[in-house]
Amino acid sequence: MELLTALFADYTLRTVALGAALLGVVSGVLGCFAVLRRQALLGDAMSHAALPGIALAFMLTGQRDPLVLLLGAAAAAWLAALLVLGITGTSRIKEDSALALTLSVCFGFGLVLLSLLQKRPDAAQAGLKRFLFGQAAALVERDIVVMAALGLPALLCVALLWKHFKLLSFDPEYAASLGMPTGALSILLTTLIVMAIAIGLQSVGVVLMSAMLVAPAAAARQWTNRLSIMVLLAASFGALAGVSGALISATTRGFSTGPTVVLCMAAITLGSLLCAPERGLLWRWIRGRRQLAPVD
């Protein structure tokens, strides 16, 4: 209760909660499409690959404006996605190898750039390290504005192209046979996922961002068979985990934001896997017992 009053009174807490909620909603919605299209791990590769983008954006512009850094991150993540698709499309390297390769090499390159920056006399790299594990407590109003500027258009895009994305996720061949530009649509969808990743970088960090795409979608999937409900549920789960994780992290010592948000999300996911009606493991177990029980 004390926390709730603080939430409305305290400027920092309000900013943090707003940012985390925004992240949760956007990554929840777009994560659904990523999971349905079997691209859960592409998010992992893309978010690791965002690191060199952040460092390069800072090196080239010398600015620490969140918009510049996040656009750099998004560009690098987008290139990484193209790289993975290019490698699997033009050689016999399988998707898993291409993902692991892109992820580790891009991240390694990012570390090289970060250590280059560290040598700068103005020690300006301070503040870039927080992109590793996120630091929601450091969010300011300007960050929220940037996050909203990236996230709301992405959500709007999903709403406008809802039918297209739905068909693309479930039956791409049929979508192509209807004359939909499936290539352009999948690139657009990947771009939107990149936006979601960029939004999460400041609060969750590159290392754990992928979980924010996968977990809400996996949790929401258990409760429903309808995409619309799944997307709404994933958005709420994401927002819930984001806000509670960010608040715990901002008020408790030793809880980095990224890991805390991920653990909150994991609790929701575990609950869904166990308790969701029809699909949940508990229900399945009860059903099994009932079938075993002797008939009176």
Partner 1 sequence: MAPEVEVQLIAVIVAAACALPGVFLVLRRMAMLSDAISHTVLLGIVLGYLLTRDLGSPLLFVGAVAMGVVTVALVELVTGTGLVREDAAIGLVFPVLFSIAVILISRFAGNVHLDVDSVLLGELVFAPFDRVRLLGLDLPRALLVGLVTLLANLLLIGLFYKELKLATFDAGLAAALGFAPALVHYGLMTMVSITAVGAFDAVGSILVIALMVAPPAAAYLLTDRLARMLLLSVLIGAASAIAGYWLAYWLDVSVAGAMATMSGVAFGLCYLFAPGRGLVAGAARRAHQRWEFAQQMLTLHLLNHEGTAEAIEECSPSRLSAHLRWPPAFAAEVVRRAEQGGLVQRRGELLTLTERGRRLAQEASLR
DSSP sequence for 62-118: ----HHHHHHHHHHHHHHHHHHHHHHHHHSS--HHHHHHHHHHHHHHHHHHHHHHHH
- 161 in Cβ contact with 154 (< 8 Å): no
| Whole-angstrom Cα Rg for the chain | 20
Written as one letter, the residue type at 124 is A
Smaller CB distance to partner 1: residue 146 or 241? 241
Q: Per rule CB under 8 A, is residue 211 in the interface with partner 1?
A: yes
Distance CA 190, CA 47 (A): 12
Task: Choose, by CB under 8 A, the member of 14, 64, 166, 279 that binds partner 1.
Answer: 279
Q: Going residue by residue from 16 to 45, which x/- string records binding to partner 1, judged by CB under 8 A?
A: -------------------x--xxxx-xx-
**106 versus 175: smaller Cβ distance to partner 1:** 106
* Length in residues, the chain: 296
CB of 178 to partner 1, least distance (A): 26
Q: Of the listed pieces 96-104, 145-153, 176-184, 192-200, which binds partner 1 according to CB under 8 A?
A: 96-104
**In whole angstroms, what is the distance from residue 3 CA to residue 189 CA?**
37
Given the rule CB under 8 A, which residues bind partner 1? 35, 38-41, 43-44, 48, 87, 90-101, 103-112, 114-116, 119, 129, 132-133, 207-208, 210-211, 213-215, 217-218, 221-222, 254-256, 258-260, 262-263, 266, 269, 273, 279, 281
